[in-house]
Amino acid sequence: VRDALNSALDEEMKRDEKVFLLGEEVAQYDGAYKVSRGLLDKYGDQRVIDTPITESGFAGLAVGAAMAGLKPICEFMTFNFSMQAIDQVINSAAKSFYMSGGLVKVPIVFRGPNGAAAGVAAQHSQCFAAWYGHCPGLKVVSPFSSEDCRGLLKAAIRDPNPVVVLENELMYGTAFPVSDEAMSEDFVVEIGKCKVERSGKHVTLVSHSKPVGQCLEAEQLATEGIDCEVINLRSIRPLDIETIEKSVMKTNHLVSVEGGWPMFGVGSEICAQIMEGPAFDYLDAPAIRVTGADIPMPYAQVLEDGALPGVQDIILSVKKTLHIE
């Protein structure tokens, strides 16, 4: 995943000299998670820029650069720190195109690790998918695999709108098989489209980021004759509800899985849109949400483990919606 992101940054900086990267430790240290390794040596300190620890300042600087015609990639060392800059992300980046009557474009990418890491407690362990997905004017993507990361980041950099790219710290070192097509410099993943990771007929599992892997890991269900369709959202906003509806019309059951909090979350939005749309009449049981616990993240490992959704939670929820004891 780390290499997929690095290659996407490298190719897009090579393709368009207006693209530049800024953030804490992105240059001389090669990035806090080594995602920008080698880019300073290749492109120089005018295009790979170390910033002070001032998220509001450098995010605002990046938005201004985008308004002036450049294409900044603004890295937050973690999206928890984007709370320092949320006024710039929402009020300056997301709303300016609309408020200017379409005159001011803001082609900017905000990227970095999102969601819970490990052992970093309440202030560094939250998922921002629902926060940023709530706001018109932003596009929000949440990649799972190396192919997702590579294709979605390249699409985000080329997009004329502000795009939030929610990576996952625990996934950076994960390896995935990648097709030859995905290694092409022209490869992009369309923003706003899901990917059906596995076809099935009994229940639809919808997820994004790391929990997609947990849905795929729930192999115990297959041994019990339960055939799960696993959908990787890829894009939070816009949300590809049509693919989810099509799946629900086939399986007649829906379980959403996310690492974030339950209140007003991504799963809540999916359930609401399914209820309002044509797939509702196909449901044979209420949709179920699997989420993180509705608490600030505990520091103690045993409590942290209990606060995050696991494979067993997914298995129990699938059996519940299928009325299997």
Catalytic positions, written as ranges: 55, 124
Q: By the 8 A CB rule, do 306 and 293 touch?
A: yes
3-state SS, one letter per residue, for 49-79: EECCCCHHHHHHHHHHHHHCCCEEEEECCCH
Q: What is the DSSP letter of 208?
A: -
Rounded CA gap, 320 and 56, in Å? Answer: 45
Q: What is the DSSP letter of 288?
A: E
Q: What angle do CA 239, 240, 242 make, to 5 degrees?
A: 135
Report CA-CA distances (Å) from 32 to 2, 285, 318. Answer: 11, 45, 38
The CA-to-CA distance between both ends of the chain, in Å, stands at: 38
Strands of 195-198's sheet, edge to edge? 195-198, 228-232, 203-207, 254-257, 288-290
Rounded CA gap, 94 and 163, in Å? Answer: 9
Q: By the 8 A CB rule, do 322 and 290 touch?
A: no
Q: By the 8 A CB rule, do 142 and 258 touch?
A: no
Give Rg (Cα) of the chain: 20
